[in-house]
């Protein structure tokens, strides 16, 4: 199957993460597991005619905790009405702080259940103060 045959596309954008000044929080995320999951998920989504792409960007997010990690990951699914939404907005709080699981949950929610994502301005949105508009 070629990319031209794919009907939908979703992009995962990783912003640069920089330690917040004066903060000694250590990143416990298994980034290799998250990367492996994204590769496997891209293959899986192709069977649904969905293209998953991953990009790294130069925008910086100061990291003080796991919530900021979620802020630094943006999901872009314009055909679903999500231009540049942080992962934290899509999934809310993370029960286990497992990056691979949280990414997969967020991507699947946007693609297959976008109505479950709180709209901009909702009082139920957990704001991570990332500038995404929630």
Residue 103 included in any domain: yes
Q: How far apart are CA 8 and CA 34, in angstroms?
A: 22
Residue 127 included in any domain: no
Residue 13 included in any domain: yes
Residue 124 included in any domain: no
pLDDT of residue 7: 82
Q: Mind listing the pLDDT tens digit for each residue in 38-66?
A: 999 999 999 999 999 999 999 999 999 99
Q: Mind listing the pLDDT tens digit for each residue in 72-111?
A: 999 999 999 999 999 999 998 888 999 999 999 999 999 9
Residue 38 included in any domain: yes
pTM of the model: 0.84
Residue 128 included in any domain: no
Residue 53 included in any domain: yes
Number of domains composing the chain: 1
The residue segments making up the domain with residue 102 are: 3-116
């Amino acid at each position: 199957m070629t990319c031209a045959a794919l009907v939908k596309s979703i992009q995962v954008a990783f912003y640069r993460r920089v330690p917040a000044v004066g903060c000694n929080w250590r990143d416990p995320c298994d980034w290799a597991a998250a990367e492996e999951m994204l590769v496997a998920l891209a293959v899986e989504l192709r069977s649904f005619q969905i293209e998953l792409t991953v990009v790294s960007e130069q925008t910086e997010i100061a990291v003080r905790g796991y919530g900021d990690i979620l802020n630094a990951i943006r999901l872009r699914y314009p055909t679903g009405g999500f231009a540049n939404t942080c992962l934290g907005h899509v999934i809310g709080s993370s029960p286990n702080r497992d990056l691979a699981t949280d990414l997969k949950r967020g991507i699947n929610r946007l693609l297959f259940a976008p109505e479950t994502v709180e709209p901009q301005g909702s009082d139920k949105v957990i704001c991570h103060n990332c500038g995404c508009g929630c």
